[in-house]
Chains A and B, each alone.
Chain A
Amino acid sequence: MADVMTRLNPDTRAAARGLSDLSIRNLFIIPTIAFLIVFNVFPLIYSLWTAFTDYRASTNAPSQWIGLDNFRYLLNDPFIWRNFTITAKYVLISVTGQVLVGFGLAMLLNRPIPLKGLITTLLLLPMMLSPAVVGLFWKLLYDPSFGIINYFLGLGKFEWLADPQMALYAVAMVDIWMWSPFVMLLSLAGLSAVPKHLYEAAEIDRAGSFYTFFRITLPLVAPILMIAIIFRTMEAFKTFDHAYILSTQPTTELIAIRLYKMAFLEWQTGMSSAFAYIVLIVVVAITNIYVKYLNKAKAR
């Protein structure tokens, strides 16, 4: 062995002592690819196949190929359309709220203020909590008898979650509270990257704050804000945990909750796979529209 080592050039000897590039590549990439195939690609293909069958995981009965029947049934089901409408409304309220609150906070924190680091850290706390815990926590806050929200707002025994119309806003409010810090964080990164000389030039030109915001700040932060909107839209479409815990109102039954019920309470495995693919197509389509606008914003 010693003889072989002396005959190798220094680079090869170093490689022989440890692992070669090829070995390292194989060590990391092969398990990753295997993992992806087993846990991502296979379920994706298998669920696509089940979407075209009448498969029910709760029975031992073999599944039958039924073509597009599941998709046809779902697209003709008024409850599914109601779920999509509710989800669209929820996404709109939630993402708009997060962008406004998050960007507003970022604007405030982009100034020299005392204890800026501590305030930023505290503001980030909500998004670090488990959504299930957040759901339970806000359920107590919303309680009409002893909830602190009604106490501070002087609303008496106002029922946030029992009111069919208010419940969706109450659930969206929790999402805004939880994820505005995420938008704030990205916006802060964007704001800090805006060149200072642009503001100085605007000041010399006696530009007003309105003009400065809409002509300098917003266009330059727009691409990163757009990324935050894309992320939050995709996530809001998938909201389950806190919405499921907070309310059982039909007016808060988001698509993820309906999908869960269909798959794991009704055990309509084929149907729920088809539903999941419909949701996937919708999310991909919306994301593509956003990406198109993102590219336009970047080009500007």
Chain B
Amino acid sequence: MHRPFYRLLAGAAAIALSAPAALSQELTIFWAEWDPANYLQELVNEYEAETGVRVTVETTPWQDFQTKAFTEFNARGSAYDMIVGDSQWLGAASEGGHYVDLTEFFKANNLGEIMAPATVKYYAEYPANSQKFWAIPAEGDAVGWSYRKDWFEDPAEMEAFKAKYGYDLAVPQDWKQLIDIAEFFHRPDQDRYGIAIYTDNSYDGLVMGVENALFSYGAELGNPDTYEVEGIINSDKAVEALEAYRKLYSFTPPGWSKTFFVENNQAITENLAAMSMNYFAFFPALVNPATNPNAASTGFFANPKGPYGDQFAALGGQGISIVSYSNNIDESYKFLEWFIREDVQKRWAELGGYTAHAATLESEEFRNATPYNEAFFQTMFMVKDFWAVPEYAELLIAANQRWYPYIVGGEGTAKEALDALAADWTATFKKYGRLK
């Protein structure tokens, strides 16, 4: 009668005693729900095979990612040991004490030189130029372009284009050509449209798209050292860039007023547009014949240069940080040591992740691995990002509130929109004591 009871008790005790040991061998990384997170899970399975430490990549839909992450931070919860957070979170997460300071780790491992310089600047460092680091560049990403090679290479189209614009139809070399080509292919009567761009203003979609124009027209968001924005975000070049983005919007398919990465891939897969803006992370779906019937005739290019020769792209992607409230900080450091190894970074790239590892990026093997890797390689050395200050969301929402009515609704002028934004941002920076 008593024997099963004692056996049960002994079993429970064994489980209870072994539990802490088992827990210390488990790590949880939190990220958004998308393909790179699946690739990361595949990669960390190899870490488990190598070390015996189980790493789980927990995901949530993009719409909830920020809210869920910060809710956990605010509760000082230990559910996640590491997080692959957006670059603009750096200020809020580091000043809030949610991220572990990785400066020493960064220096000890010479990451400033191992990783592509622009990725270190935007995925890891906060405040700007402070040499304080909070993340390891993990998923490098930026905004690039896909296009319909078959439409571009059609002899009749090429001839008509040359006759109309006076130069050859090819991958656009600058924003003027980008606009010309979008206009040329815009044929609503044939259900064919010129271009697909980001317009979703619920988070950073529209802002990323506009940044692609702003930076390449030689404009800046402001002075990152003094936080002055007046005369910078509303400069003549910024006005020109916003007007160019508005013009591109007039060549988009119908209903293109709330579009982001899903719709922009659909623009190519459903024969809607000649060119489409998107993060490089979503391009694997475009070279896969199972998800894109036009895979064989889809090409890719980096954001073209602006009228004054500047060429930049808006930064996407994320760095990986250790969460301050984790119960496994030491184990997390060991994982990061493994993650930054050159062979692991190569494997990460092979699996489909976008490495920020400079040597891997520069290798011929990487650049020729996919039809879009060459454009990605070029882009990762010319990226620029949005403000990473803790109040980035207020700045982002103000940009959406000012830019969206002009671009999508055609309300007012670009100058008015940018002047108003400069006033909003100035007020925000003054409110938080960054600008006197």
Spell out A's residues near B (CB within 8 Å).
56-61, 79, 143-145, 157, 159, 161-162, 164, 244, 247-251, 261, 264-268
Contact of B66 with A265 in the complex, beta carbons under 8 Å = yes
Please give me the residue from chain A that is nearest to B258 by CB atom: A248
Q: Does B74 contact A (CB under 8 A)?
A: yes
Q: Which residues of B contact A247 (CB under 8 A)?
A: 258
Q: Are B254 and A266 in contact (CB under 8 A)?
A: no
Judge whether A145 and B411 touch: CB under 8 Å: no
**Who on chain B is nearest to A247 by CB?**
B258
Q: Are B201 and A248 in contact (CB under 8 A)?
A: yes
Instruction: Please classify how large the interface on chain B is, using the bins under 10, 10 to 19, 20 to 34, 35 or more.
Output: 20 to 34
Verify A164–B409 contact, CB threshold 8 A. yes
Contact A58 B202 (CB under 8 A): no
Question: Of B49-57, B329-337, B338-346, B393-401, which binds chain A?
Answer: B393-401
Q: Known contacts being A161-B258, A162-B256, A164-B409, is A58 close to B67, with CB within 8 Å? A: no
- B289 adjacent to chain A (CB < 8 Å): no
- For residue A159, which residues in chain B have a CB less than 8 angstroms away from its CB? 254-255, 257
Give the CA-CA distance A286 to B112 in the complex, in Å. Answer: 60
User: Is the beta-carbon distance between B394 and A266 smaller than 8 angstroms?
Assistant: yes
Given contacts A162-B408, A164-B408, contact A59 B96 (CB under 8 A): yes
The answer to whether B393 and A144 have CB atoms under 8 Å apart is: no
Contact of A266 among B95, B96, B397, B411 (CB under 8 A): B397
User: What number of residue pairs across chains A and B have CB atoms under 8 A from each other?
Assistant: 81
B92 within 8 A of A: yes
Q: List A contacts of B256 (CB < 8 A).
A: 162
- Closest Cβ of chain B to A31, distance in Å, is 25
Can you list 15 pairs linking A and B with CB atoms under 8 Å apart?
A56-B390, A57-B74, A61-B96, A144-B254, A145-B253, A145-B254, A159-B257, A161-B258, A162-B254, A162-B255, A248-B200, A248-B258, A248-B404, A266-B393, A266-B394
Task: Using A58-B73, A59-B92, A164-B409 as known contacts, say yes or no to A250 and B66 having CB atoms under 8 A apart.
Answer: no
The residue in chain A whose Cβ has the minimal distance to the Cβ of B96 is A59
List residues of chain B with CB within 8 A of the CB of A266. Answer: 391, 393-394, 397
Which A residues touch B191, using CB under 8 A?
145
Find the B residue at minimum CB distance from A156.
B254
- Are A267 and B404 interface neighbours, CB within 8 A? no
B203 nearest in chain A by CB position: A265
Chain B residues, CB < 8 A from A244? 202
A267 partner residues in chain B, CB cutoff 8 A? 70, 92, 393
A60 to chain B, nearest CB (A): 5
* B188 CB–A CB distance under 8 Å: yes
List the B side residues contacting A264 at CB < 8 Å: 67
B117 within 8 A of A: no
Residues of A within 8 A of B97 (CB): 59-60
**Chain B min CB distance to A228 (Å):** 33
Contact A248 B405 (CB under 8 A): no
Interface residues of B (CB under 8 A from A): 66-67, 70, 73-74, 92, 95-98, 188, 191, 200-203, 253-258, 390-391, 393-394, 396-397, 401, 404-405, 408-409, 411
Distance (whole angstroms) from the CB of A4 to the closest CB of chain B: 36
User: Which A residues are CB-close (under 8 A) to B98?
Assistant: 60
Rounded to whole angstroms, the CA-CA distance of A244 and B70 in the bound complex is: 21
Enumerate chain A residues within 8 angstroms of B96, measured Cβ to Cβ. 58-61
Give me 8 other A-B pairs in contact (C-beta within 8 A), A162-B257, A162-B408 excluded. A58-B73, A59-B96, A60-B96, A144-B254, A145-B191, A249-B257, A250-B409, A265-B67
Separation in Å of the B184 CB from the closest CB of chain A? 20
Q: In the complex, what distance in Å separates the CA atom of A261 from the CA atom of B203?
A: 10
Residues of A within 8 Å of B202, CB to CB, are 244, 248
Residues of B within 8 A of A268 (CB): 394
CA distance A251 to B200 in the complex (A): 14
Residue pair B258, A157 in contact (C-beta under 8 Å): no
Cα A64 to Cα B393 in complex, Å, equals 21
B390 touches A164 (CB 8 A): no
- In chain A, what residue has the closest Cβ to B92? A58
**Residues in A neighbouring B393, C-beta threshold 8 A:** 261, 265-267
Cβ B405 vs Cβ A250 within 8 A: yes
Residue from B97, B98, B397 with most neighbouring chain A CB atoms (10 Å) = B397
Residues of A contacting B188 in the complex (Cβ-Cβ under 8 angstroms): 157
- Residue in A59, A143, A161, A264 with the greatest tally of chain B CB atoms within 10 Å: A59
Across the interface, do A250 and B254 meet the contact criterion of CB distance under 8 Å? no
The docked-state distance in angstroms from the alpha carbon of A251 to that of B253 is: 22
Distance in angstroms from A206 CB to nearest chain B CB is: 56
Residue of B nearest to A139 (CB): B258
A161 and B70 in contact, given A58-B390, A248-B200, A248-B404 (Cβ under 8 angstroms): no
Q: Which residues of A contact B92 (CB under 8 A)?
A: 58-59, 267
Minimum distance in angstroms from B426 CB to a CB of chain A: 15
